[in-house]
Amino acid sequence: MSREPVAWDIYWEGIRHMTVRAQSIADQYEDMERYRIVPLYAEPPEVGELARALVEKLDVVHEDPAYKGVWGLHYVHGGHYTGPTYTDELGALRRALAQYEDKGGTE
């Protein structure tokens, strides 16, 4: 997902100093020690698309035999994972995505 900035906020010692619409102007401030340049984009990334991509990648990982084998091997050698899991959060995200997609991908 490659997007080009439409403007740049220029911060001076943590305070927004100005917004410029030309990269050449923003570049002039880049070398100045007290300035920080933040690119601005026309629209934020589509959260639904990013969440769906994450869920799909997790599904691929969870179904990979090598990934499954790690847990089996760990268990056989006396390891019993009792740490935190993300099962509830992943289920909630799946439900939210289903509702989001039923509405056509709008809030």
* Amino acid present at 66: A
- For 54-105, the pLDDT digits (tens) are 999 999 999 999 998 998 899 899 988 888 899 999 999 999 888 877 776 6
Residue 15: burial class (beta carbons within 10 Å; 0-12, 13-18, 19+):
exposed
Both 31 and 58 in a single domain? no
Both 30 and 55 in a single domain? no
Any domain includes 98? yes
Both 51 and 95 in a single domain? yes
CA gap 93, 105 in Å, rounded? 14
pLDDT given at position 57: 93
Q: What are the φ and ψ backbone dihedral angles of 105, each rounded to 5 degrees?
A: 80, 25
Q: Percent of the chain scored above 90 by pLDDT?
A: 24
Any domain includes 66? yes
pLDDT, the chain, mean: 83
Domain coverage including residue 26: 7-40
Q: What are the φ and ψ backbone dihedral angles of 49, each rounded to 5 degrees?
A: -65, -40
Both 34 and 52 in a single domain? no
Any domain includes 2? no
Both 51 and 87 in a single domain? yes
Any domain includes 107? no
Q: Are 8 and 23 in contact (CB under 8 A)?
A: yes
